[in-house]
Amino acid sequence: MKLPEEVAAKYAMEGNHAPGEYHWRGQVVKLQHISLEHADRLFDAGFPYLVLKPKAESAKPKGKTAALGLPEQE
Amino acid sequence: MDLQDLLHVNGVPNPSGLATLHGVANIEDITTLQAPAAQIGDLASTAITAATIATAHVFATGKCMHKLYGTQNKGKGGYAPVGEVDSEAQKGTAELYHPGSKATADALALKYTNWSGLVFIAEADGTIRQYGSAAFPARIKVTYDTGTNEGYKGYKIDVMAYGLPFIYTPGLNFTPAV
């Protein structure tokens, strides 16, 4: 089982836990079926089995001109 | 931890009794068995660090908790002090009632006869308590009774573990580890 694609783009499973059925604070959570909105709510509430993935680096590194607030030259 | 106020917020829901789905785990299936982060005798400890297990146990690949269903409004759990003055501690006990007359329950009754491990009891408000620890695993005793024609047929599952059944905040995990 896998996290839904939109959820997997933002979150990873903590440790060696797998997407599946967890019962947490009275909720039954089936991680293979949750929406990104649900995942966000769980994460914000402290759900321990989802961790944020590191944000991807910008594809184009900023040069000296960008650091100075000047427009990049082509 | 030092003494502190013990208050109750007016209007906070407080349903009694147990939920209907609980968890059972072999200690041998857990590669990293978590415990409260601090001990109550440590003055720097807090209620959270000394009386809850806040980090999820790490199960071996392919392992997780097993489900245990209990009929609503029949089971209960709790703990009480035991021991003599200057040697007191806690003993946790819970009882669940599982309906039916079935081979799986009979086989588990045999298995539990000389078994010890961890039992995770779900309370009505969603709180999970862990009965048993590495030092004092929980024991389970199963009694079968047909009941009367106006009674209850099924299994009474008694759980006992020395030590306070700590609140286990990560909840129940029914998905095998990878």
Residue contacts between A and B (CB atoms, under 8 Å): 55
pLDDT score at A74: 41
Q: Does A48 touch chain B (CB under 8 A)?
A: yes
Q: Predicted ipTM?
A: 0.91
Which residues between 19 and 38 in chain A have a beta carbon less than 8 angstroms from any beta carbon of chain B?
A: 19-27, 31
How far apart, in whole angstroms, are the C-alpha atoms of residue B84 and residue A65?
76
Which residues of A fall within a CB distance of 8 Å from B126? Answer: 24-27
Q: What mean pLDDT comes out for the span A44-72? A: 70
Closest residue, chain A, to B123 (C-alpha): A26
B167 CB-near residues (< 8 Å, 6+ apart): B51, B52, B53, B127, B128, B129, B130
Q: Is residue A23 over pLDDT 80? A: yes
Which residues of B fall within a CB distance of 8 Å from A22? Answer: 171-175
Q: Closest approach of chain B CAs to the CA of A17, in angstroms?
A: 5
How far apart, in whole angstroms, are the C-alpha atoms of residue B137 and residue B118?
6
Q: Assign B43 a pLDDT band (cuts: 50, 70, 90).
A: confident
Q: Does A49 touch chain B (CB under 8 A)?
A: yes
